[in-house]
Chains A and B, each alone.
Chain A
Amino acid sequence: MNTITIALLSLVLLAAILSFYKRKILGSSVLKFFSFFLLFQFLYQLAAALYSFVFTQHEPNYFIFNLTMPVNIAYFSALFYDIVKHPAKRKFIVSTTVINLLFYVINLAFIQGFFALMTYSRTALAVSLVIYSLLYFHEMLTSSAAENEVNPTRSATFWIVTAIFFFYLCSTLTIIIWDYLVASNPIIGPLMTRIFGFLLYAMYVVGMMLHKAEHKEPTA
Chain B
Amino acid sequence: MDASSNEIIIAFLFGSLMLALIGVFMFMMVIFYQKRKIRSIEERQRLIAQYEQAALKAKVEIREETLKYVGQELHDNVGQLLSLIKLYLTHPETQQKTAVTQLIDQAITDIRVLSHDLNINRVEQYSLGDFIEQELNKVHKAGTMQTSFESEGICELPSIQNRVMISRIFQECINNILKHAEAKHIFVKLVAEKGSCVLSIIDDGVGFETSTVRNGTGFINIYDRLKLIGGDIRINSAPGNGTNITLRIPQG
A residues apposed to B, CB below 8 Å: 137, 140-142, 144, 146-147, 149, 151-153, 158, 162, 166, 170, 185, 187-188, 191-192, 194-196, 198-199, 203
Contact B26 A162 (CB under 8 A): yes
Q: Provided the pairs A191-B7, A196-B18 are in contact, do residues A140 and B40 lie with their beta carbons within 8 angstroms?
A: no
Do the beta carbons of A147 and B37 come within 8 Å of each other?
Answer: yes
Chain A residues positioned under 8 Å from B10 (CB to CB): 185, 187-188, 191
Interface of B is mostly: helix
Q: How far is the CB of B160 from chain A (nearest CB, A)?
A: 15
Interface pick from B28-36, B75-83, B97-105, B196-204: B28-36
11 interchain pairs (CB within 8 A)? A140-B33, A144-B40, A146-B36, A151-B30, A152-B30, A162-B26, A166-B18, A166-B25, A191-B11, A194-B11, A199-B18
> What's the nearest-Cβ distance from chain B to residue A135, in Å?
14
Inter-subunit contact A162/B25 (CB<8 Å): yes
Q: CA of A194 to CA of B25 in the docked complex: distance in angstroms?
A: 21
- Quick check: A195 and B11 within 8 Å, CB to CB? yes
Query: In the docked arrangement, what's the CA distance between A195 and B20, Å?
Result: 13
Give chain A's interface secondary structure class.
helix
Whether the Cβ atoms of B7 and A147 lie closer than 8 Å is no
Known A146-B36, A146-B37, A152-B33: A166·B22 in contact at CB below 8 Å: yes
How many angstroms between the C-alpha atoms of A152 and B28 in the bound complex?
A: 11
**B21 part of interface (Cβ distance < 8 Å):** yes
How far, in angstroms, from A151 to B36 measured CA to CA in the complex?
Answer: 12
Question: Contact check: which of B7, B22, B40 meets A146 at CB < 8 Å?
Answer: B40
Cβ of B3 under 8 Å from chain A = yes
Assembled-state Cα–Cα distance A149/B18 (Å): 28
Taking A153-B26, A153-B30 as contacts, is the C-beta distance between A198 and B44 under 8 angstroms?
Answer: no
Asked if B15 is at the interface (CB within 8 A of a chain A CB), the reply is: yes
In-complex Cβ contact of B14 among A140, A153, A195, A203 (8 A): A195
A142 CA to B29 CA, complexed, in Å: 12
Residues of B within 8 A of A (CB): 3, 6-7, 10-11, 14-15, 18-19, 21-22, 25-26, 29-30, 32-34, 36-37, 40-41, 44
Q: A187-B3, A187-B6, A191-B10 are in contact. Are A199 and B40 (CB under 8 A)?
A: no
Residues from chain B with a CB closer than 8 A to the CB of A195 are 11, 14-15, 18
Q: Looking at the assembled complex, report how far the CB atom of B163 sits from the nearest CB atom of chain A, in whole angstroms.
A: 17
A141 near B32: Cβ-Cβ < 8 Å: yes
In chain B, what residue has the closest Cβ to A162?
B26
Most buried by A among B7, B18, B44: B18
Residues in B neighbouring A140, C-beta threshold 8 A:
29, 33
A144 and B33 CA atoms in complex are apart in Å by: 11
Residue of B nearest to A203 (CB): B22
A178 to chain B, nearest CB (A): 15
Residues of A within 8 A of B30 (CB): 151-153
In order of increasing CB-CB distance, the 10 nearest A-B pairs are: A146-B40, A146-B37, A195-B15, A187-B7, A141-B32, A152-B33, A191-B11, A166-B22, A195-B14, A199-B18
Write out the residue numbers on chain A whose beta carbons fall within 8 Å of the beta carbon of B11: 191, 194-195
Tell me, rounded to whole Å, the shortest Cβ–Cβ distance linking B32 to chain A: 5
Give which listed residue, A147, A162, A187, A188, contacts B44 with CB less than 8 A: A147
